[in-house]
Structure 1
């Protein structure tokens, strides 16, 4: 028995030695061990996400990609795959796996190197949060004790959930939710078994085993994971066989953007970074909700891109991106053309070339392989072969300059040849030749009631340039300035019926030592013309005469009421022609004053910000229009004035006791009536309700014109094409700058204000003009570019969508507005009811007092103002 006793003594001694070693190890490292209690309130580093008002994802910002999920949101097969691969005894051990540790220790003993980690999921979690990946014994000891502590603080499910959300999985993805999006562009619930196995295999080597960097290694690792799942009974043999045969198709995917608003997203990013700093903005999981309506935003993007492409195509085709081989056209006896090709590339070489080419928006790189008659064949990246029909080629007459295009093509060979690298885009179920537009554009839509930005597009493509033309491009506004000039005229007691002299101006400018001759565009002059008609027809010389009547400085001060900076308003008569430089957002804000009845609203984009726990950390307090509140304020001021008057009367009577009683009663009443919460702020009134109404109504004539066409007196406004929308509640104004360098259209309904701009980023480039293309139909745009032809189509496309199926809203004239019948030629009162007359709105007291037939007595007036004569300024 002596050998048995010795064995028992040896075992006991060994056990005591192990305990002593563990105790000593713990004593040695205990002061360096962090508190694992922090894991109960761990804040996973998640990116900032930006949403539309209806919850669609606009963008995501942050170095680390993470989509936190609960264990219940993760597929059961994914959890089993990870357990089978990383720790199949996870729910059985106390945080460390003694068998695995013994196996790893044996390897170290025989090889002298730590080739196996034997780390459980709990140990890996400890390392991820508190330690490094270095393979040293002291790190392993710390890892073991931390794992034991973690198991005491958290449940198994909590540990597993934290691990699956925290683990690094390559390509800046952290957690299984982000990996599913990054590698496969899917929600985690939509992964196939093969894709699940790929993700489950990543923790052992995320940088080298991911399917983007090394599909072959990812495949080998996937097969190992599938084998372990099969051995554990998590999948059937049939599932295993099917997943084994599935090809690995992976590429890097960004966040699942469901609303295209990159310019809005960048505005939000800058604002949040300014507010919280980069570290918090990009890592705290902020959820930023914006004012953007995803439906309107999507239409805004589509309208701008369609409009830009339309402009670009009618000005001609600028040629292929590159030529890969030479193809010479050889005319045939039958009139056709055959190409003689030299050094033609093989299909394999073409595909290799296309793999390295980028598209833009819906423009896709292609190589022309064959041209016959009025069509062409092309090949896309990936090997897809397409046909370009004549309808996709017939627009492409050669570009000569912004003002000139070559002859319309008659055959495909007039446009393209084999070997050309071109861009194509899908259009109406067919393919169309395309090119990257050279022109720029912007569109912004705001709610005139509070300034909320409903949609904003800062250019054709954010990927092409991040410069936001809606907020950063200060461009001359042309005739878009005229409603504000006319508003200043109404403030000076002119009316919509006042006659102005629409005649050429010829004056010598001594400062410039040349004659200043502002002209109408087109150069048509009507002589005596009412202000309403002059605004609708956008008469330049009338705007100059109105500026003179009011005064330059007085007009500039009036324009600052609309939010325009004084420094942006020239101190010269060119102000009337739109020489001021403003951004589309500033211009839309100014037009909102007319739409909302005279109030200046401040545009805003962010409505609220939530943290990663859905706690509200910021909420924007809108500053809305509130006409009722204004009436209440007036009543309150009147009451306060009356109280002050009564108090003064008491003071004068030297009745001190009565004065004290009155003051005490007033303070008590004020205290009892004051709300607990502070009174919200409201948008300030900057022009009168009457002024805003008259300009908004006059701008309807830009669309609907006036007179009687049957009687030969009818006339159109510059925005007459908007009649197609068949809405009487729209107001709008075209804008075209000198030399047609900028084209504008701004307009509104009572609930939406929209400004559209088109121009080149090079402010010196002209938008030019186009000749008629016989290949195209009657709906094409030709002639000189202008606000109506160039900027208004995007506005019309967007507004038609935004107001579709919505009832018309007709604003009632405010108090102080009267309507009388006037003679349309003179603006005087009339009793005629034929096509020579019509009703006009006036601010009470400014309506004409004299009939066109002087034998008729004038109407009684409410004040002493008299209109003795018609003055032609």
Structure 2
């Protein structure tokens, strides 16, 4: 008996030696193919690029994988317990491999021929996730075992677990528990309930088929398994188990935690980062800080949306989007399901009319339930007939809506009102004029609806927004703000076309000789043409070129003075910045700095500023554009500038600006500035040939409504005012200091000549001041001649 025991012992030693030798041989065979796991010491998890406002609000996130790395000490113990109970209960005891599990998997393979995944510890999963594929082969499994053992010798258990919890794929492009908590529940991991923790802990085995969004039934079954193992291992009590089991599967998809809506800004910053870092920008965890402040960006967005909706409201209601039923009405469940499938376009929400009374309507609104549209929310909706024609004022609700209508609604204070998606569009671009940093930019009514960035890409005719540039060239070539130019009709015969060119003012009044300051403030077209003729087209084109406008394709004709060239709102704001900052051309930029995932600055903006206009000329144009806001006096009466509404709304003396409207009102502009902000607002149809039209007075609305033609002053200026009200709140009013190269003189406002009597103060560059004094008998008034033109 002893002899057989000795032989059995020797045989066992032999088998052990063979096993060790076999393992050694296997190791030698796969060793050349094993990666260097030491890089795990300095591993940098792939994280998406995030775009922030200057004050740290998240604007957007770019990257295929969503990941939010979390240190192990910040992981909730409950989450760690759930993962270990489900994936690797002996994680803190084993050396990286589970011998019993491997043996069990080997028996299954020898007896059935099936290569099942099982027996992988968390360390083995880390090895596979970072270095290997998921193919089920013996070779891959052997490599996985050796790598796991090497990892265990290199890293602590907590370090291994942290890598696992931050790397593992958990469905819907979320990688790691931090991202999964946000994607499924919109929470930080520390805020998850036990039921939510168990749901996430059950995902690693099958994230595509076990997640609660794609398959809530299977997800609930998997959650029960996790909770059962936590109960068996003593990590939770029976009461906790029962409560978590009873919790509903309430997961839904949550996007990135966007705290500031600025999609056009986000895309500009995204493209900039992509140009610098290529495709690596999506995985390096870049933090891109833009130049916009959240409050200013919100103000710009609100101002543009309000302005476009106001235009749309006064032009009439185009009717329901669709009639959902003709016979039997839909059930509440059918309506809810249909609304859930439709998009929302802030601030508009889809709704279905379920009842109509004499002067109200009941509607079911997406995600809001049943609401009432009172008469105040309906009475605006007279029929739209054409862009320049509306139907009669509404008398009762049924004239606008019917049961079964699919409509749009939006908040109106505490109530809701009938709305519609506007066909009109627009843009706003605002800068810090001193360095070119973009402070607010909105490229259209809604980015989801249409991603075309009109602020940066839509080249539209400038209209009278061009005049300050023409006037600045004139001031550099012998004219002054007191120079008298004849505001009288022009009839120019063109022998080439054998046609007469008759540019006209708008409104249809000519006032005879007037000062340059007044002509710019009142946007006199024929004066602008005469100044261009007196200066020379080449000089004017050079001024536009110096300010950053592309002049290569601009026809060298007198129509230049009326705004025939095209520009984007961002280009226009950049041009006007030179009048706000003392004559310097700035280069607009949207990215302030870029940091890596560790906070190291990889890029920081260096503003480009170049002097292109004299400080004196810049000051003089600013003065004239200030008169466009506050008006002036001449010929014995006070006159308003075209931007007088801005003065009334903002009540600041340091604002300046210019309206602009193109032929047949296809484009409406307002560009203006203070020493601290410059902004340009544009409104128009994406269809270049569609005029903005006209509106008649709506008897149902109050007396403050806009009626008549759509022009820069009535259509674009309210948007500019809406933004500036918020943007200037932190900037106290301040005077522009007069440059040392100017001096002042008292002039007669009717003649532009010096006077020793009662007059007004004007600024002059030495050599441009009037040479003579005005005599009282020479002062005179000039009558008007009626002509029509829409270019102002």
TM-score above 0.5 = yes
The answer to whether the Cα contact below 8 Å between 2:443 and 2:454 also exists between their aligned partners in 1 is yes
Give the CA deviation at 1:604. Answer: 1.1
1:462-481 alignment runs, 5 A limit: 462-481=447-466
Question: Residues 586 and 607 of structure 2 are in contact (CA less than 8 Å); yes or no, is this contact kept in structure 1?
Answer: no
Give yes or no for contact 1:198–1:221 (8 Å, CA) kept in 2.
yes
TM-score w.r.t. the length of structure 2 is: 0.95
* 1:171 aligned counterpart, secondary structure: coil
Structure 2 distance, partners of 1:619, 1:467, is: 27
Name the counterpart of 2:750.
825
Gaps of 5+ in 2: 779-792
Superposition deviation, residue 854 in structure 1? 8.6
1:771-790 to 2 correspondences below 5 Å: 771-790=696-715
CA distance in 2, matches of 1:71, 1:141: 29
**Which residue of structure 2 aligns with residue 414 of structure 1?**
399
Q: Any idea what SS the aligned residue of 1:586 has?
A: helix
Structure 1 window deviating more from structure 2 (174-183 vs 454-463): it is: 174-183
Q: Would you say the 8 A contact 1:702–1:717 is kept in 2?
A: yes
Give the Cα separation in 1 of the matches to 2:120 and 2:77: 22
Aligned residue number for residue 328 of structure 2? 343
Cα RMSD over matched residues?
Answer: 1.9
Query: Are 1:844 and 2:766 matched, yes or no?
Result: yes
Q: How does 1:857-868 map to 2 (within 5 A)?
A: none
Distance across 1 between alignment mates of 2:229 and 2:734: 67
**Cα distance in 1 for residues equivalent to 2:344 and 2:730:** 36
Shift of 1:73: 2.8
Q: Measure, in 1, the Cα distance between the counterparts of 2:661 and 2:174.
A: 49
Q: 1:571 aligns with which of 556, 566, 591?
A: 556
Q: Which residue of 2 aligns with 1:122?
A: 123
Of the candidates 688, 692, 701, which is equivalent to residue 618 of structure 2? 692
- 1:568 positional shift: 4.6
Structure 2 partner of 1:149: 150
1:125 and 1:163 in contact (8 A); partners too:
yes
**1:705 alignment counterpart:** 631
TM alignment of 1:216-227, pairs within 5 A: 216-227=217-228
- Counterpart secondary structure, 2:95: coil
1:202-213 matches, cutoff 5 A = 202-213=203-214
Which aligned segments of 4 or more residues in structure 1 are displaced greater than 4 angstroms? none
Paired positions, count: 776
Corresponding residue for residue 586 of structure 2 = 601
Aligned counterpart in structure 1 of residue 434 of structure 2, from 445, 449, 458: 449
Q: Structure 1's 568 and 696: CA in aligned 2 closer, same or farther, altered over 3 A?
A: farther
Q: Distance in 1 between matches of 2:243 and 2:359?
A: 47
TM-score by length of 1: 0.86
Shift of 1:187: 2.5
> Contact (CA 8 Å) 1:568, 1:581: kept in 2 or not?
no
**Cα-to-partner distance string for 1:480-510 (whole Å, 9 max, x where unaligned):** 0011111111111211111111112222233
C-alpha distance in 2, partners of 1:568/1:470?
21
Distance 1:472 1:12 in 2: 80
Contact 2:595-2:601 within 8 A present in 1 as well: yes
8 A contact 1:505–1:517 mirrored in 2 = yes
**CA distance in structure 2 between the partners assigned to 1:481 and 1:382 by the alignment:** 47
Residue 215 of structure 2 is matched in structure 1 by 214
- Cα separation, 1, equivalents of 2:366 and 2:432: 43
Q: Look up the SS of the partner of 1:249 in the other structure.
A: coil
| Structure 1 residue 244, shift from structure 2 partner | 1.8
Q: Does the Cα contact within 8 Å between 1:322 and 1:421 map onto a contact in 2?
A: yes
**C-alpha displacement at 1:760, in angstroms?**
0.8
In structure 2, do the counterparts of structure 1 residues 509 and 251 end up closer, same or farther at CA, with 3 Å as the change threshold? farther
Counterparts in 2 of 1:533 and 1:5: CA distance versus 1, 3 Å? same
SS at match of 1:600: strand
| Mapped pair 1:526 → 2:500 | no
Offset, 1:303? 0.9
Give the 3-state SS of the residue equivalent to 2:547 in structure 1.
Answer: coil
1:394 aligned onto 2:320: no
Match of 1:267 in 2: 268
Secondary structure, counterpart of 2:481 in structure 1: coil
Once the two structures are TM-superposed, the CA of residue 758 in structure 1 deviates from its matched residue by 0.5
Aligned counterpart, 1:799: 724
1:489 paired with 2:414, answer no
- Give the corresponding residue for 2:339: 354
Alpha-carbon distance in structure 2 between the residues aligned to 1:806 and 1:348: 52
The answer for the alignment partner of 2:175 in structure 1 is 174
Quick check: 2:579–2:622 contact (8 Å CA) kept in 1?
Answer: yes
Q: 2:356 aligns with which of 346, 371, 380?
A: 371
Q: Is the 8 A contact 1:451 1:589 kept in 2?
A: yes
CA distance in 1, matches of 2:112, 2:274: 52
Change (3 A) 1:734 1:568: farther
Name the SS for the 2:584 alignment partner. coil
Q: Equivalences for 1:468-867 in 2 at 5 Å?
A: 468-623=453-608, 683-707=609-633, 713-723=637-647, 724-833=649-758, 837-853=759-775
Once the two structures are superposed, residues 503-522 of structure 1 have per-residue CA deviations (whole angstroms, 9 ceiling, x without a partner) of 12222233333221111111
CA contact (8 A) 1:288 1:609 kept: yes
Partner of 2:164: 163
Match of 1:91 in 2: 92
* Distance in 1, Cα, partners of 2:741 & 2:142: 86
1-side partners of 2:463 and 2:776: how far apart?
A: 41
Residues 593-645 of structure 1: CA distance to partner in whole angstroms, max 9, x if unpaired?
A: 1100011111111222222232222222223xxxxxxxxxxxxxxxxxxxxxx
Does the 8 Å CA contact 2:117/2:136 hold for their aligned counterparts?
Answer: no
Q: Distance in 2 between matches of 1:854 and 1:101?
A: 111
Aligned equivalents of 1:814 and 1:187: distance in 2?
Answer: 56
Whether the aligned pair in 2 keeps the contact of 1:208 and 1:214 (CA below 8 Å) is yes
Unaligned runs of at least 5 residues, structure 1: 327-341, 624-682, 857-873
Q: Are the aligned partners of 1:323 and 1:421 in contact in 2 as well (CA < 8 Å)?
A: yes
Preserved contact between residue 568 and residue 582 of structure 1 (Cα < 8 Å): no
C-alpha separation in 1, matches of 2:638 and 2:440? 36
Q: Deviations for 1:421-447, whole angstroms, at most 9, x for unmatched residues? A: 111122212111111111111111111
Cα gap change, 1:11/1:383 in structure 2, threshold over 3 Å: closer, same or farther? farther
Kept after mapping to 2: 8 A contact 1:47/1:64: yes
> Which moved further from structure 2: 463-472 or 251-260?
251-260
Secondary structure, aligned partner of 1:754: strand
